[in-house]
Amino acid sequence: MHIVVNEELKDEYEALERSLLAEGCRDALVLWGDTLVDGHNRYGICRKHDIPFNTVQHDRFQSIDDVHLWMIEQHLGRRSVSDFQRGVLALRKREILAERRARAAANGGEDSPDLPFDTEGAQPAMAKPARVNPNDSRKEIAREARISSNQVGMIEKIRKEAAPEVVAAVKAGSLSISAAAAVATLPEDEQRAAATGGDAELKQAAKRVRESKRKPREKPSDDVLALREQVADLEAENRNLRREIDTLRARLGERPVDPDEEPAE
């Protein structure tokens, strides 16, 4: 298996570990019942070093969908989340809300509210967000994820068709979204073979796919070539005639005529 260590993420984890060792765990971990909702890295570090921590119950969650939506909202607002991850989160949010509304329609229209939550001060937020229409266009999803509509389309393709190794590479940041979408068009065994060769081979595979899709420039037909020759000959003949006219006018003592000059009335 090809594993990539993202140094930026590693540095963030180590910085968090140093902070917890120096200052303790000041922010409470958020629970829903006995399920950890927020603070997974803090929980792991605290358990590793026996650092005391507090917890707070999030009693406004009504279902696991509420938990997923809350976590998605949290991650969408973080600068450290990559474009690919934000796109996946926004698409997943749309799917969850679409599934929820489908269930509500089947149950006579009863639906739980789509509530966001905030861990600032370890207290749930009471504000209700704007609902996301399940028929949102790619443009609206792109706006929420802060990426382009084209990228949303590519991320959808990666989610549906890319081999796990290709998805892992784009998640790690070693393969761009566009390159991963190109590789995803290959049969799965070819994707896996490219991934086995490492990041360089994946990029080469993407390059080969792109080059294969480029349409070669069509050569002009014989008729077009013949017409172009005729036009060139006529333009040359026209220039020669103008020179002869200018020569004759010079002999008669007349000023050469500028072809762009308006004739005198």
CB atoms within 10 A of CB 246: 14
| 3-state class (DSSP) for residue 262 | coil
Is 228 exposed, middle or buried (CB count within 10 Å of its CB: 0-12, 13-18, 19+)? exposed
Beta sheet of 35-38, edge-to-edge order: 35-38, 29-32, 55-57
Please check whether residue 29 is in contact with residue 42, taking contact to mean a CB–CB distance below 8 angstroms.
yes
CB-count burial class (<10 Å; 0-12, 13-18, 19+) for 201: middle
Q: Please, are residues 117 and 60 in contact by the beta-carbon 8 Å criterion?
A: yes
**One pLDDT digit (tens) per residue for the chain, 265 residues:** 455 555 666 667 888 899 999 999 999 998 988 889 888 899 999 999 999 999 999 888 888 899 899 889 888 888 778 999 999 999 999 999 888 888 888 887 655 444 444 433 333 443 333 444 444 578 889 999 999 999 999 999 999 999 999 999 999 889 999 999 999 999 999 999 999 999 899 999 999 999 888 766 667 777 787 888 888 888 888 888 888 888 888 878 766 555 555 555 5
Q: At what angle do helices 188-196 and 164-172 cross, to 10 degrees?
A: 50
Helix H or strand E encompassing 38: strand 35-38
Indicate whether this model's pTM tops 0.75: no
Q: Given the structure tokens 């080059």, which residue do they identify?
A: 211
pLDDT, residue 21, reads 93
Rounded to whole angstroms, how far apart are CA atoms 77 and 86? 9
Find the distance separating the first CA and the last CA of the chain, reported in whole Å. 87
Pair of tokens at residue 135: 């028929």
- Domain ranges for the chain, please list them: 14-57, 61-146, 162-212
Three-state SS across 119-172?
A: CHHHCCCCCCCCCCCCCCCHHHHHHHHCCCHHHHHHHHHHHHHCCHHHHHHHHH
Do residues 72 and 93 touch, judged by C-beta distance below 8 A?
yes
Say what the alpha-carbon torsion angle 245, 251, 257, 263 is, to the nearest 10 degrees: -100
Joined together, the tokens standing for residue 47 give 């358990």
Beta bridge partners of 35: 32
